[in-house]
A and B are shown apart, each in its own frame.
Chain A
Amino acid sequence: MSNQGIMQVFFDECDEQLSELESNLLALEGGEHNLEAINAVFRAVHSIKGGAGAFGMEELVRFAHTFETILDQVREGDLTPDATVLKAMLKASDVLTDLVRCARDGENVAVADVEIVMEQLNALNGTEAEKEIDESDDDFEIEFQPVPVCLDDIDCTDAGEFARFEISFRPRPMLYENGNDAVYLLRELRSLGEIEVQCDADALPTLDEIEPEGAFLTWQVTLHTNSDESKVREIFEFVQWDCDLSISAGNSLACGEAGIPDKVEAHLCNPAVGPADPGQFDAGSEHAETINSEAAVAPEKPSKSANIQATIRVNLERVEQLINLVGELVINQAMLEQQAEVAGLDRTSAICSGLNDLQKLTKEIQDGVMAIRAQPVKPVFQRMHRIAREAGEATAKIIRLVTEGETTEVDKTVIERLTDPLTHMLRNAIDHGLESPEARVRAGKPEEGTICLSANHRSGRVVIEIADDGAGIDREKVRSIAVARGLIEADTALEAEDIDNLIFRPGFSTAEQVSDLSGRGVGLDVVRRAVEKLGGRVSIASQPGIGTKITMSLPLTLAVQEGMLVDVADHTLVVPLAAILESLKPRSDMVNEIGLGKRLIKLQDSFVPLVDVAETLGFRKAGIDPTQGVALLVETPGGTRCVLLVDAIQGQNQVVIKSVERHFSRVPGIAAATILGDGRVALIADTEDLVAHHQSVPERIEPKLTAMG
């Protein structure tokens, strides 16, 4: 393997070690004073240092060395891992993470930070002088006196047991007719030892004379093995009447006998039996993104044995391809089922019951493939510890971040896109949720604020909660700000829950001065949008004086979606089920015209704008009579409610999402496409886009959608 390839492995391994490092430091911080955790921490830093040294990453080695020195003292019991020491170590692990990233991306290192933390570490290390001694110790190091051995001896006695067989093997046509293959037999021979193969193709006729089902090749095989002749004969046991075979024992192998030309050998060099792969424990591809998928059901608290579960690394592309294929399979299966129905086949017929089995299998394959992409949320959660530390420092608040359900598995893409909203929510909770230590003490709470980050599966979705024990939402303040920003009228009657939800509205920011922390000019509306883009929902619950809890519910995967199939002017359209709050049949007294062709629907006590989907997408020139259609009440990521008017509802279905942007430019009002059971293409509506266009432009969107249908 090339150095470049090994370096890639090194960086992958660094990630694992860094996360190991952090989780063990956190365990120590949590009061678990066990030697095992300290050893694991030491080993992680030590391994990073070792690898970095091999690749000449000096900066990384220098820092890791300083870190390691302190860890060694802790390990030896010379230094007690109290709060101060652990804090410095956590900071050091952050710097180490940065240094690894810098080494990987070739970025420049922010030297100041490194030096500061190095000094902090050195300060723990008693005195500078001690460090000097440490280094001078290296100079005085004694060299190991190598103890030579004679390997020739060892080897030749071994080699003496090797026997050599000369095998001549000429298959007859019968051998192939019976489903055997000479290649397999030769491979099996190789499993006994080293083989040298020569193929005699002299009997091969020219192409115009060749008998396609004939057998013309003869192989001469020299086998060096410590197995006896019966083992060799065993391989040919089933084909001995279908070939001309002679096996003769040659001289035993003298040590260092010259081999057959390398060329022949090279042909047989099959990776399967070649030298073992050093990455056999996590054997893998050299580059490309790899995902690490452990067995689907992971225990809540992984035991030590769970850590060494057998895993393989596979190229992500292969998994993607598999997922695509399964998508096709699902469609194909639905198509067959529909055809069977069209053909009027009896439900009890063999074909129909076969199709039923197929459906079950397809579902299982789909779940299985999705599980490959599933990854525990642990890495993302772990990153949050650092965010919490940094945010705590910036706001001078004392924070304890508790994480639960780290082994909960979610689709890789969902996890990737989860980091930003989660970071934002955490910062928000620290900045706005938790009170200052003084205020907490005044309120009779412990100085330390607790934030609990948890993940779990609930009815086919993953639910992530972030709860703080802060002051809760100051509803009066939120309300007055919302009024000041023009989000609500001064006299709007709002339930407590509605007020809480105002903080997700665009243009809302409670911080009187924008702190550089959660501020950054973006509010929680961005979080909401990001989560809803993933097909998720965000909700908030707050109790004054007790705390605030924000809950995100996300789909397990982005590759399939639950959708409502609707008719829109002779087209079938899919509306994401997650967006639909309810569907109803409008009565004429509910519809109110407000001019400019705009209409409102009265639902309970509020008026909701009506969007005629067919008209907006340009399927039809004029809108239909709402009482003739079906209204779907949807809520957009922005929080606005709107009613989508469609002709009829066909039903609810799971759809495989196919991007259209690869083939068309972005189509307004359309999120993606899917293939229906009957093979037709249906478009998936982008509810947010539909509503936005309806609000901003009175006329309809003018895409050439006819090209799609």
Chain B
Amino acid sequence: MPFLRHLRVLVVDDTNTSRMLVSSTLQEIGVLHIDFARDGRQALDKVMADAPHLVISDFNMPNMDGIEFLEAMRAYGPSSKTPFIMLSGKADRDLIQTAARCGANNVIKKPFTRQSLRAGIEAVVGRLQ
């Protein structure tokens, strides 16, 4: 997928471990431009400043959680349609319904594997490679 080289992805997670796991999978797929934030608040700043093409965010984070971040992102015109994939350890009915209502594009259950993450991204952006 040639556009992967130009794709700018924002990875949001409060733990370094998850950020690295996600980004190493993205790099494997061929994504070159990966930026990071460690909570919703910081992520929102980055969304407004850099307009990433895709956001992959954790749910449980300090300051501003994934859902709050998603809501704020959707409320902001330029990012109202930016694809949003949420990672969550707690993927119960409640959260999934809330995520869907707020306009998430996918929810990937944590712990994820490289395969499950990749599949979750492909379900949104189409097959990669």
Contacts and interface: CB of A to CB of B under 8 A. Distances in A.
A144 B126 contact: no
A512 interface: no
11 contacts: A17-B15, A142-B93, A143-B96, A144-B96, A146-B124, A147-B105, A147-B106, A148-B126, A255-B3, A278-B24, A279-B16
A130 interface: no
Contact of A151 (B7, B14, B17, B97): B7
A589 to B, nearest CB: 71
Interface residues of A, number: 53
Contact of B2 (A9, A49, A255): A255
B49 interface: no
B99 interface: yes
A485 B36 CA distance: 66
Contact of A275 (B21, B33, B93): B33
Contacts of B96: 141-144
B92 A155 contact: no
A151 B32 contact: no
A70 to B, nearest CB: 14
Nearest to A284: B16
Interface string B15-30: 1111111111001000
A50 interface: yes
A674 to B, nearest CB: 41
Given A9-B20, A146-B105, A280 B36 contact: yes
Contacts of B2: 255-257
Given A6-B17, A155-B3, A144 B92 contact: no
Of A147, A154, A278, the most chain B CB neighbours within 10 A belong to: A278
B54 interface: yes
Per DSSP, chain B at the interface is mixed
A155 B120 CA distance: 20
B18 to A, nearest CB: 6
Interface string B94-110: 00110110011111001
A276 B35 contact: yes
A23 B2 CA distance: 49
A53 B123 contact: no
A177 interface: no
B106 A13 contact: no
Interface in A119-170: 137-138, 140-152, 154-156, 158-159
Contacts of B19: 278-279
B18 A146 contact: no
B125 A278 contact: no
Contact of A159 (B6, B21, B23, B31): B6
Contacts, number: 145
B126 A49 contact: no
A50 B36 contact: no
Contact of B18 (A50, A149, A155, A156): A50
B82 to A, nearest CB: 8
Contacts of B126: 148, 150-151
A148 B123 contact: yes
A281 B35 CA distance: 12
A49 B89 contact: yes
A480 to B, nearest CB: 58
Contacts of A42: 60
B27 to A, nearest CB: 7
A43 B20 contact: no
A158 B3 CA distance: 11
Contacts of A155: 3, 6-7, 53
Contacts of A51: 15, 17-18, 111
A378 to B, nearest CB: 20
A32 interface: no
Chain A to chain B: the 9 pairs with minimum beta-carbon distance, closest first: A53-B111, A256-B2, A146-B123, A144-B107, A278-B19, A10-B17, A146-B106, A51-B17, A278-B23
B56 to A, nearest CB: 12
A144 B96 CA distance: 6
A159 B4 CA distance: 12
B62 A39 contact: yes
B88 to A, nearest CB: 9
A571 B104 CA distance: 78
A40 interface: yes
